[in-house]
A and B are shown apart, each in its own frame.
Chain A
């Protein structure tokens, strides 16, 4: 997966959108985002460090950070993750664009049908 720079221009590149939706398509990763929406958290707050499941979990964090949905900062031995809401807005914008497109189409179809109806009954 391509690593997206945190300061990349906000004009959504298709690859960015792909990465965001791929990241969102997993319940563990969505759960992390929900938990981070409350407050930033360290790895040990997000996961238990004494289980063999930790490496798989860290892969999920890497994917979230890779597509820019979260960012992390290391202070001493503790790495803290926080939400990067700008990146989530790209997904929202994409969905918004699709919605407006379809609303526009349906509105035009609606108007056309009304016009047809009027012509038929005339």
Chain B
């Protein structure tokens, strides 16, 4: 079964696109394996102290982010669409097992396309209204998501 592609609405959504010089298979691997994901998923000096990945629609995608001061922020969501090496869609609007989340915020998509030199990497964040989009942008979407792409590429090259 194939799922529809999310349609980007510039008033509601945020997009980050990069050309990176690492292959799609490795990008997929570090996005979908907890022992790899913890090394790059949050901007340093923050760390990921716990990560659960159940890679199927409705399966858990949980991460706990830890601040440099030692405070922990658990986040929970689930996958919606999983097409290896191609696209990964997850959300925090549904908890694992499709239960509606108490504080829904966004749905994210990762789209990978092989290129001559590596991967075209596209990350999108879909929001329910313009206020949530703006809040995410002001929170630091481009800075945060951009920083971790760099960290991810460095991590893959050092693997």
Contact = CB atoms under 8 A, between A and B. Distances in A.
B72 interface: yes
User: For the side of the interface on B, what is the size category?
Assistant: 20 to 34
Contacts of B144: 51-56
A52 B75 contact: no
Interface of A: 27-28, 31, 43-45, 47-60, 77, 79
Contacts, number: 79
B65 A49 contact: yes
Contacts of B76: 50
> Interface majority SS on B: helix, strand, loop or mixed?
mixed
Nearest to B77: A50
B148 interface: yes
Contact of B140 (A43, A56, A79): A56
Q: Which 8 A/B pairs are nearest by Cβ-Cβ distance?
A: A56-B140, A50-B75, A48-B105, A49-B75, A52-B144, A28-B138, A53-B144, A57-B139
Contacts of B138: 27-28, 31
B58 interface: no
